[in-house]
Structure 1
Amino acid sequence: MEKQFTYRTLSYSDLGHIDYQKAWNLQHEIFNKRLSNEVSDTLLLLEHSNTYTLGKSSNKANLLFSDVELQQKNIAIYNIDRGGDITYHGPGQIVGYPIINLSLWQKDTHKYLRTLEEVIIQTLLEFGVNGERNDDHTGVWVGNNKICAIGIKVSRWITMHGFAFNINTNMDFFNGIIPCGIMDKGVTSLSIELNKNVDLNLVKKKIVNNFCEIFNYNKIVLC
């Protein structure tokens, strides 16, 4: 008999530091299980090794480092199936992959994107930082600088990919790209805004709490 779950139950897993390919494979595995209702909606939080990912609308000209520089700096490159342009993942950045069934929430990808932004905005507020939306660009901004990139894929109303929230990120790696293909804006991190390193586990806890509150989950299952 097919297992039954409601969208009010969220499975959560902190994967720690994980290779991008391994996490990508895991996303697809959970996606297929969510599609067949074998698992509940799932949120994965994690960190990657130094990686550039290029979304479906990426322009290769936005990758500034040469192949030699990429090899010297040990940066992996992946062409992936999310929306958006090029972005960076690396240690000190919290990456979130929600794999949820929007047909049990709202069949509206724009609403979903705005709601993901709200999770980050509310999390920033708890640290005394005012995050904002930008009318022209997806993500969360502090002034003219992006602090959280967001790029998703939705297939049969199941979501994949998600957000990349700069916490204690080494911002030098953004010098190798034009982040998200946006030339006239910068990037920032929570540690830059607070002028100190931040406890990643504390940020993760706040993200999960805000995610559950804003998306109306009332039960968390650790997986």
Structure 2
Amino acid sequence: MQNKKVQFIDWGLVDYQEAWDRQEEIFAKTLAIKHDNRVNDTSLETPNYLIFTEHPHVYTLGKSGHMEYLLLDEEGLKAKNATFYKINRGGDITYHGPGQIVGYPILDLDNFFTDIHLYLRTLEEAIIQTLGEYGISAGRYPGYTGVWLDPDNEKARKICAMGVRASRWVTMHGFAFNVNADLTYFGNIVPCGIDDKDVTSMERELGYPVDLEEVKSKLKNNLAKLFLMELT
């Protein structure tokens, strides 16, 4: 039987390494339950988590990423008060920082649907619907993951980056949604390896800082609706 219950947790501002370690621990426990079910022919429920957080300034490079897309050396990172990690998600280089909603769904997709492409499109749709509630029209840029504004013309600009990892249909990592983020930090990388497109935020598009907690609430509800989650 599918377990649609999802525990929502807001970690607040957490160091990237600490958040990665916490994710890995939850991820490993879920995989262990699935392994035991398979080996012992049992049917223990696997848990699901939806985690929101923010990170201090940090750049992360996915396993298929290109190191040359980081335009800072070690001294440059120190000057920007930023850190850098090579990590085990898909995707290229991106930035995380305050004013950004970083979402880490750790879901057993056997509880929902076993389709990674649909999983990514559903995450994107939740962001698109949330932006729509603020009068911001968003969509998808052909050939790339994430959420974009004006994706069909030369003004295309990215407002949410995505990079996930999955094993035996259990997910980790997720998305980085620019709400009030300091966009100058994106000038130190080639974001997601795309060097001819801009990056934006809700604050830039609307012309004023947005209530981050309000956006979290709307986004959480849209994710629950689209995935048919029972948030706890």
TM range (shorter): over 0.9
Q: How big is each residue's C-alpha offset from its partner over 1:75-128, in whole Å with a ceiling of 9 and x where there is no partner?
A: 110000000100000000000000001122221111111111001001101111
CA distance in 1, matches of 2:169, 2:216: 26
* Counterpart position of 2:37: none
TM-score relative to the length of structure 1: 0.94
* Counterpart position of 1:7: 3
CA distance in 2, matches of 1:39, 1:206: 26
Aligned-partner residue type, residue 183 of structure 2: M
TM-score relative to the length of structure 2: 0.90
Asked if the contact 2:148/2:160 (under 8 Å) is kept, the reply is yes
Task: Please list, as runs of the form range in 1=range in 2, the aligned pairs for 1:4-43 lying within 5 A after superposition.
Answer: 6-35=2-31, 36=33, 40-43=47-50
Residue 220 (structure 2) pairs with residue 220 (structure 1)? no
CA distance in 1, matches of 2:212, 2:25: 26
* Counterpart position of 2:123: 116
SS of the aligned residue for 1:33 comes to: helix
CA distance in 1, matches of 2:126, 2:47: 20
* Counterpart position of 2:36: none
* Counterpart position of 1:180: 192
Task: Please list, as runs of the form range in 1=range in 2, the aligned pairs for 1:48-197 lying within 5 A after superposition.
Answer: 48-143=55-150, 144-197=156-209
* Counterpart position of 1:207: 219
Q: How many residues align?
A: 216
Moved over 4 A (4+): none
What is the Cα deviation at residue 73 of structure 1? 1.2
CA distance in 1, matches of 2:219, 2:46: 21
CA distance in 1, matches of 2:84, 2:72: 11
What is the Cα-based RMSD across aligned positions, in Å?
1.2
Q: How big is each residue's C-alpha offset from its partner over 1:141-191, in whole Å with a ceiling of 9 and x where there is no partner?
A: 012100000100001110000000000000010010000000111100001
What is the Cα deviation at residue 7 of structure 1? 3.0
CA distance in 1, matches of 2:178, 2:15: 18
Structure 1: any 5+ residue segments left out of the alignment?
A: none
Larger Rg belongs to: 2
Asked if the contact 1:30/1:39 (under 8 Å) is kept, the reply is no
SS of the aligned residue for 1:14 comes to: strand
Q: Which moved more, 1:36-45 or 1:78-87?
A: 36-45
CA distance in 1, matches of 2:145, 2:27: 23
Structure 2: any 5+ residue segments left out of the alignment?
A: 34-43, 151-155
